[in-house]
Amino acid sequence: MRRLLFMLALGLAAASPPPATAQPQPITLVVNYVAGGATDIIARIMQPVLAQEWGTQVIIKNTAGASGAMGGAEVARARPDGQTLLLSPSGGAIIAPNFQRPAPYTIAAFAPICQVVETPMVTMTPPTTGLRTIADFMLRAREAGGGYAYSTAGVGSGPHLALIALARLTQTPMNHIPFRGSGEAVQAMMAGTVETLSDQASLVRQYGLHPVVVWSAQRAPQFPNTPTMRESGYDLEFDIWTGIYAPAGTPDALLARYEAGCQRMLANPAVVAGLNRVDMNIRWRNRVDLLAYMREEDSKFRNLIESAGLRRGE
């Protein structure tokens, strides 16, 4: 009898399904600017393919404020378990924290995963303003005697630094109107609060704006008739690049898996088409190359901020 019961138990155990495998925890991808802006658009194009490549749900969380520093700080202090990542342009990852003392974080707070895009910075305006060239822009700024208002996605953003560099180069004071992100800046521009916005090239076609000038080394292919700053007589160059980061201390095996998934994601036809559609240039850098590039950019912008006396809280 005991042998019969033992055999029945073995049979039931063999027939029982194996315990369910726990589903991977969802990944929160923090976007450090408001919904509807350029960085948010990149995130939403990549989101479904990243989820497929990483094998789990990817949830986008917009944490805007302080030119991207609020979202950056959220990820910098997150647990290094791979469940909270940051998608940020260079402004939020590198430039904004250099504006503040004490700095909310440094680049050492992040473990780079990959760079995904690099796009020209463009000064843009609604067609109704009559501003067609950078010469028009500068004439209006000089006539305003320091009261000319220009907008960016926030204090300490890359475009903010670019316009400061232009103002210093030309000795033309201007009035900076910062917003929490490019989405809000575009709304204010459409309402007539400000005339221009300097930001990622993708916003030009998205909102039907006019590109006044391109800040990259060469003309942007999507705007072949729009001159660069150097062609216009100003020795200035600024690009905007965007990467994905984990908190420092995230296990190397996780970083390697995420990096490989990112590389496959950027080759996915849906992602390629989506980024092309919004004039985002795919620019892959692996985590080693991105870390080296971050250090170069951090040094460059920190020196510019210090020389211009722009730090706050000192």
Q: Over 70: is that where the pLDDT of 17 sits?
A: no
Query: In this structure, are residues 229 and 163 in contact, taking their beta carbons and an 8 Å threshold?
Result: no
- The Cα–Cα gap between 229 and 47 comes to 34
Residue with the larger pLDDT of the pair 193 and 308? 193
Cis geometry, peptide bond prior to residue 102 (ω within 30 degrees of 0): yes
Amino acid (one-letter) located at 312: R
Residues 31 and 105 in one domain: yes
Asked if the structure places residue 2 within a domain, the reply is no
Q: Over 80: is that where the pLDDT of 156 sits?
A: no
pLDDT of amino acid 130: 93
Average pLDDT, the chain: 89
Domain count, the chain: 2
Residues 130 and 262 in one domain: no
Instruction: Express each pLDDT in 258-290 by its tens digit.
Output: 999 999 999 999 999 999 998 889 999 999 999
CATH code where residue 282 lies? 3.40.190.150
Per-residue pLDDT, averaged over 27-52, amounts to: 95
- The Cα–Cα gap between 280 and 176 comes to 26
Name the pTM for this structure: 0.82
Query: In this structure, are residues 122 and 152 in contact, taking their beta carbons and an 8 Å threshold?
Result: no
Residues 111 and 244 in one domain: yes
Residues 157 and 208 in one domain: yes
pLDDT of amino acid 312: 58
Per-residue pLDDT, averaged over 198-225, amounts to: 92
Asked if the structure places residue 230 within a domain, the reply is no
pLDDT of amino acid 166: 94
Q: Tell me the C-alpha to C-alpha distance, in Å, between residue 211 and each of 25, 126, 204, 234.
A: 43, 9, 7, 17
* Number of C-beta neighbours around residue 3 at 10 A: 7
Residues 112 and 257 in one domain: yes
The pLDDT-based confidence of 236 (bands split at 50, 70, 90) is very high
Asked if the structure places residue 18 within a domain, the reply is no
Torsion 90-95-100-106 (CA) sign: positive
pLDDT of amino acid 6: 39
Per-residue pLDDT, averaged over 3-9, amounts to: 40
What is the residue range of 177's domain? 120-214
pLDDT of amino acid 16: 43
Asked if the structure places residue 193 within a domain, the reply is yes
Which conformational region is residue 86 in: left (phi greater than 0), alpha (psi within -120 to 50 degrees), or beta? beta
Asked if the structure places residue 12 within a domain, the reply is no
Per-residue pLDDT, averaged over 182-209, amounts to: 91
Residue with the larger pLDDT of the pair 301 and 135? 135
Query: Which residue has tokens 């992602």?
Result: 271
Residues 149 and 93 in one domain: no
Residues 124 and 114 in one domain: no
- The Cα–Cα gap between 111 and 254 comes to 11
